[in-house]
A = this chain, B = another copy of it.
Amino acid sequence: MGKGELTRQSILKHAASLATEVGLDGLTIGRLADDLGLSKSGLFAHFQSKELLQLAAMEFAAQRFIDTAVKPSLSAPRGEPRVKAFFENWLAWPKKSGLPAGCFFIAVATELDDQPGPVRDRLVQLQRDWLDAIAQGVRIAVSEGHFRKDVDPDQFAYETYGIMLVTHHFTRLLRDPKADTRARKAFESLLAKSRKPT
């Protein structure tokens, strides 16, 4: 990895952190350059526009998410254990991401939902992929006989994502230390109603 690629990575790491705090729009080239001890133009040269910088930062965060949350879950046993792994690894992901200030994707979701363009498009796709991964895990759990046959995988993913969103909300906005406990309780009852009756 050459020197250019090295600084580029350090820029992206900081950009992803900063965007998680102040949003992709609040992310500013001057601020970024100051923090990293670079000149504005020197930093800018790594990307051709701010939009490409935003896209690159999102790609960086996506890669982190895949490495620290998705892949480890996929090595869990098929069925309910893997579904639980998805959930637990998501819960742990803000800490293990190496980025402060919570989940990058939730942080930028609301600011992008009315701003058309490639950045929004990429986020939508990433969200769909993540939801599909959960739904797919549920489908496997059904076929493994862990979950009832009438469980709707997309509905399950929907409700799971709701728990994730509200957990983030309670943790970061309301600073509620019980958020994780409540999250697990909610998810546990989601699991309970999906399991086969004994």
A75: interface (CB < 8 Å)? no
* Contact status A193-B186, CB under 8 Å: no
Q: How far is the CA of A185 from the CA of B162 in the complex (A)?
A: 13
CA separation between A187 and B128, bound complex, in Å? 22
Contacts of A155 in B (CB 8 A): 182, 185-186
B158:A170 contact, CB within 8 angstroms: yes
Please judge, given known A-B contacts A128-B174, A159-B163, A162-B166, whether A102 and B113 are in contact too, CB under 8 Å. Answer: yes
Q: Mark A137-178, 1 if CB is under 8 A from B, else 0.
A: 000000000000000001100110111011101101110000
Interface size on A, residues (CB 8 A): 42
Distance from A186 Cβ to chain B, minimum over Cβ atoms (Å):
5
Q: Does A59 contact B (CB under 8 A)?
A: no
A5 to B39, CA, bound (A): 47
Q: How far is the CA of A169 from the CA of B124 in the complex (A)?
A: 10
Given the complex of chains A and B, what is the CA–CA distance between A120 and B182 in angstroms?
23
Given that A21-B114, A25-B26, A165-B162 are known contacts, is A109 also in contact with B173, CB under 8 Å in the complex?
Answer: yes
Residues of chain A having any CB pair with chain B under 8 Å: 21-23, 25-26, 101-102, 106-115, 120, 123-124, 127-128, 154-155, 158-159, 161-163, 165-167, 169-170, 172-174, 182, 185-186, 189, 193
